[in-house]
Amino acid sequence: MILSVLATLGLAFWAGRASSPGKATDLSTDARLGQSATQRLGTRKIAPGGSGQAITSALQLRAMFKTSGGNWQAGGTAADAKLAKMNRSQLSQLVHDLAAAQATTPGYSYGREINAACVRWAEVDPDAALQFVLSNKQASFRAAAITSIMAGIAKNDPALALAKLAAIADPTLRRSAQSSVMFTLAVASPDDWIAAVKADPSLARQSGAASFAADWAMDDPVAAAKRAMQLPADMQKNAVVAIAKVWAGKDSSAATAWAQALTDPQQRNQALAAIAGGVAAQDPDTALASLSSLPPTARRAGLMAVFSSLGDLDFDAALAKATSLKDPADRKAALSLLAGGAVGTGEMNYYVSRSPEQLSAALATLPSGAQRNTALNQLGNQLGGCSREEAAAILADYPPKDREKLQLVMLQQLAYNDPTRALEIYQTLPPDKAESCGYSIYAGLARQDPEAVLKLVAEKPPQEQAQGVGFAFAQLAHNDPESATRRLDAYPAGPVRDAAITQLTGAWAQDDPAAARAWVATLSETEQGRALNSLIPALAGSDPKGAADMLGRLLAKATKDADGNLGGATSNLVSTWARDDPEAAGTWTAALPEGNLQINAISNLASTWA
């Protein structure tokens, strides 16, 4: 169960970060990799299961998780114990039932159940399990099952799992499968993971090696360090830093000796800085003292690592320690991290999590300037998630100018989370401040109450009124598009009506592109041009030929494109169409009239093919 849970959780983060679509690598052809996998790990013998009491249905397996009282790990352990006793025929029957259950119950994903059953089936009968998943027509089931199937195969036979990747034609599924295989190898067989990455660095270049290296270092830092040195140069940095910090917590002397022996000066300094961060958890003074011998860049990184560790352990103590630093530059840097939350040193990024009260305390130590303004913005963001009473208590401690700044940032957050409360704050602001955040208010409030937005902007200047009316009509179109079109009569020609048409068309096209297209055809030629920019992206996905015909008729009639609407619609169509049918998109683009419109369309076409 641990492996299946790790695969599920890990893939939520790593999914889609392997090699690019259409560039599948058959790693099974690498003889070194095949030998490495079979010689070091071999193929695990999996008990085929028995004919004891089997789980026969999706609902029965769901019940095992459900009766765990929310302790999914306990439920999974119980389910795994049952699944381990089932033979391949029983597992096949169960997974077939899970697929049918998910198909007939689209509101429930059966994710945990599919994961547990598919991992076990792949261990017992990998060929049948993979064939069934790939032949299943339901996209959501394939996406849920492929990662678990490949994790089960990779757990027992890394070389086979890598070979099976070549059988997956769908590039999206292949990326997920690759991620699953690589995650499983990194956890269960690190040396096979290293071999795979050496054979094809793209498998891990985006996800990196830091989290895996930290896990290896917990088990054996010496072995982890040796693996890190086998990685491509651009992946070594994060792995070295992760190992150094973990190793420092286990044996700082050994970690320091290893770091000092590194031949690359940059890696050496990064490792020593990370070690200081690891030591800080046990002895902050010793950690700070160790930084004195480092060059300036590494020293700053070490300082950030130390206070990142201290801030995580005890924010108040870390703030006191930072305030007491004698060197003004060190004090400023440490306080900036604690107040700003994140600091990049050029090589690494450091982060400290803190509550609004803690951030407010750190703010009190900062002088006026850019760093304090950054911290104020972050506090305002956090206050947007606080209750009225909590926010009011913190705001009361700030002078009017700072309080107004905090409220403006708060309002941006509240506009989406609690638009009614955001509107209350908005109505207390002076006109010049209110105007600057009207966009967020209108966007957030329109989703909840478009009529309120229309009333709110009725007396606003045309540009601001256009923003609000646009957002309101988008929501009205989602609610009742035909009624929304009739309400356009209240707006004469001009920017407000243009915004309403554009947003109405875009929203309607998301829900029903054919109906939106029919309505756009009833508009004047000028208004059709404006509406097309919103209609074309949605229509191109379902009916690119129809979109092209409609746009072509307008292009044939138009004598000019003063606002660039037809040019924008053309580029949108070409970009969307080329992703599905590049040949047809290219043929249509080549037939366009010569000029800037065709040149821009060709440029969009080329960027899609690149």
Are 446 and 475 contacting, i.e. CB atoms less than 8 angstroms apart?
A: yes
Q: Dihedral (C-alpha) 278, 279, 280, 281: value to the nearest 10 degrees?
A: 70
pLDDT, tens digit, for every residue of 247-262?
999 999 999 999 999 9
Residue 94: both structure tokens together:
């169960």
Rg over CA atoms, the chain? 30
Q: Locate 212 and state its tokens.
A: 């895996």
| Element housing 350 (H / E) | strand 349-351
The dihedral over CA atoms of 55, 57, 63, 68, expressed in degrees to the nearest 10, equals 40
Residue spans of the chain under pLDDT 50: 1-45, 47, 49-51, 562
What is the model's pLDDT at position 414?
Answer: 87
Per-residue confidence (pLDDT) for residue 603, from 0 to 100: 85
Cβ pair 319, 307 in contact under 8 A = no
Judge whether 509 and 521 are in contact, CB under 8 Å: no
Asked whether the beta carbons of 378 and 340 are under 8 A apart, the reply is yes
Say what the pLDDT of residue 343 is.
Answer: 60
Span 182-225, pLDDT tens digits: 988 998 899 999 998 998 888 886 677 888 999 999 999 999 99
Only one residue has tokens 């769908």, namely 170
Inter-axis angle of helices 265-280 and 296-313, nearest 10: 30
State residue 36's pLDDT score: 35
What pLDDT does residue 546 have? Answer: 83
pLDDT at residue 609, as a whole number: 66
Non-local (6+) Cβ contacts of 426 within 8 A are: 411, 434, 437, 438, 441
